[in-house]
Amino acid sequence: MDDDRLTGPCCRPIRSKRSLGQQGIKGSCCRSVRPIASALFLCPLLVSCSGIQSALDPAGREAAHVATLFFTMLIGGAVIWLAVVGLLFYAARKRRVHSEKGAGQLILWGGAIFPTVVLAALLAYAVWLMPNIRPWFQEEAGSVRRIEVTGEQFWWRVRYLRQDGTVAFETANEVRIPVGERVIFSLRSPDVIHSFWIPVLGGKMDMIPGRDNQLTLMAEKSGTYRGVCAEFCGSSHALMAFTVLAMEPQDFEAWMAARQGASGAEDVEGLALFLKQGCDGCHAISGTDARGTIGPDLTAFGERGSVGAGTLENVEDHIARFIRDPGAIKPEARMPHFSMLPDAEIDRIAAYLKGLR
Amino acid sequence: MKSVIPREVESLWTLFTAPTVWALHFIVCYATVAIFCARGLASDISFDTIRLALAIFTLLALAIIVLSAYLAWRQWGFGSGDPPHDAPTRKDRRYFQGFATLLLSGLSFVAVAYMAIPLMFIAECQP
């Protein structure tokens, strides 16, 4: 998972060296302004039509309905806009004088009756589509898979629940779901309002303190996608993303089984250092004595798509940077800085974390 | 022209009638469905009963608005003159008010009808 599917190329981590390098290149070649300007204009249009975080490139049933609604509205709006602009040009260039009565008729039909009918039709269409965009399934004897996601400042606590509602295991900043199976997400928050949004799979839903909001999604295409926090929640709101892996059912089951047996005790020396420096006060790693619950669970951290909830690519150098000074990478993150530790120890802990499988 | 409803009712009050009906219809529809769902009354009364009751209420609201529009039309002299009715005369004031009331009635009719569209499509209560 060292690729940049989660974090790039259009969603390059804001603070990575590569992103800074790119900006430098862009800034130095502005001789011919027009092609660049038109490219800049077209780029967001084209880029936004596909990718790991685009509602217009759906990989789930709900998102497909959202995209249909969007394109219907877009085409309808474009046709009306063209008609209005056409009328404007006609009015600006016309030679023929129209009667006042004719103008009044145009205003009545074009300005009152037509919009009323069109809006009624669009409203009916959107409301009719609503059960598809946000389906609700009565839980049939607990047969639907449940995942509890808690929005924290500024990361995601993800708990996979068993059929009886108890927690099978916890992970963070990564959601894995089987393709073709409906999953119910229980969305919670202990601090402020966050919003859980996986654009390629469906609409967003707020995580409100004191409430347990339910969202169901179903992936139809396997792949790696990106989810984001869609409600401003503090300084690092924009640095609060997560990886979504839609896996084939058999791969998912294999991962579930492997994940429940995962242990961080293989690298004895690294673990000892991790515990000695008190990382276990906040972080848990299954199969070890680290059982902290304040920060993200770090079991199998090496497999994760990113460091710092979608902020940096998951490589040892970035892990070390994060440990040294989390606040420099994620402003107002609750993790304290560990810059007082010798570099060798930080690098060793980073290597240990990257090695966790 | 002799009429069942005396012309004395054509005051500033008729101007408010249609928007008031819309506001009442709005709050009644929202509150009824919200209480029905929040109280979990689905086991006692079916959703279709609520839907039917609100549909009848909607027709009643639309009928009152149509009546208000008729009175406004009459006040406007059944469209005998064209707006803007801005002369400083008693007659023009009456026509202006009638025309404004007629337009507001039209707006309220559309708003009530739009409000009823979700009633047709809403499927069930969701937690």
CA distance linking residue A37 with residue A32, whole number of Å: 9
- Mean per-residue pLDDT over chain A, rounded: 83
Q: List the domain range (segments joined by +) for residue B75.
A: 13-121
Query: Which chain B residue's Cα is nearest to A116?
Result: B110
Closest-CA distance of chain A to residue B6, Å: 31
User: In this structure, is residue B33 part of a structural domain?
Assistant: yes
Q: Could B123 and A127 be called an inter-chain contact, meaning their C-beta atoms sit closer than 8 Å?
A: no
User: In this structure, is residue B2 part of a structural domain?
Assistant: no
Q: Is the peptide bond before A249 cis (omega within 30 degrees of 0)?
A: no
Q: Which of A169-178, A242-251, A347-356, B76-85 has the lowest mean pLDDT?
A: B76-85
* pLDDT: which is higher, A148 or B89: A148
User: In this structure, is residue B8 part of a structural domain?
Assistant: no
Q: Kindly tell me if the per-residue pLDDT of B19 is higher than 80.
A: yes
State the distance between the two ends of chain A, measured CA to CA, in whole angstroms: 11
Please give the single-letter amino acid code of residue A41. Answer: F
User: In this structure, is residue B28 part of a structural domain?
Assistant: yes
Side by side, the strands of the sheet bearing A205-207 are: A174-178, A241-247, A223-229, A194-197, A205-207
What percentage of residues in chain A have a pLDDT greater than 70?
84
User: In this structure, is residue B126 part of a structural domain?
Assistant: no
A76-89 tens-digit pLDDT:
899 999 999 998 99
Q: Could B114 and A214 be called an inter-chain contact, meaning their C-beta atoms sit closer than 8 Å?
A: no
* pLDDT: which is higher, A204 or B127: A204
Closest-CA distance of chain B to residue A128, Å: 6
A3-17 tens-digit pLDDT:
444 444 444 444 444
pTM for the full predicted model: 0.76
Band (pLDDT 50/70/90 cuts) for residue A145 is: confident
In which element (H, E) is residue A242 found? strand A241-247
* pLDDT: which is higher, A1 or A76: A76
When divided into structural domains, chain B yields a total of 1
Q: Could B110 and A214 be called an inter-chain contact, meaning their C-beta atoms sit closer than 8 Å?
A: no
Query: Which chain B residue's Cα is nearest to A115?
Result: B110
Band (pLDDT 50/70/90 cuts) for residue B73 is: confident
Query: Which chain B residue's Cα is nearest to A113?
Result: B110
User: In this structure, is residue B91 part of a structural domain?
Assistant: yes
CA distance linking residue A180 with residue A70, whole number of Å: 24
Closest CA to A240 of A318, A329, A310: A310
Band (pLDDT 50/70/90 cuts) for residue A196 is: very high
Closest-CA distance of chain A to residue B9, Å: 28
CA dihedral for A295, A259, A301, A289, sign (positive or negative): positive
- Residues of chain A positioned with their CB less than 8 A from the CB of B124: 136
Q: Could A123 and B117 be called an inter-chain contact, meaning their C-beta atoms sit closer than 8 Å?
A: yes
Interface A–B counts its CB contacts (< 8 A) at 25
User: In this structure, is residue B58 part of a structural domain?
Assistant: yes
Query: Which chain A residue's Cα is nearest to B126?
Result: A136
- Residues of chain A positioned with their CB less than 8 A from the CB of B118: 127
pLDDT for residue A20: 41
> Which of A113, A117, A122, A128 to probe the B interface (max B CBs under 10 A)?
A128
A175-194 tens-digit pLDDT:
999 998 889 999 999 989 99
User: In this structure, is residue B81 part of a structural domain?
Assistant: yes
Closest-CA distance of chain A to residue B83, Å: 11
pLDDT for residue A99: 86
CB of A101 within 8 Å of a chain B CB? The answer is no
Average pLDDT value for residue range A319-338: 90
pLDDT for residue A16: 46
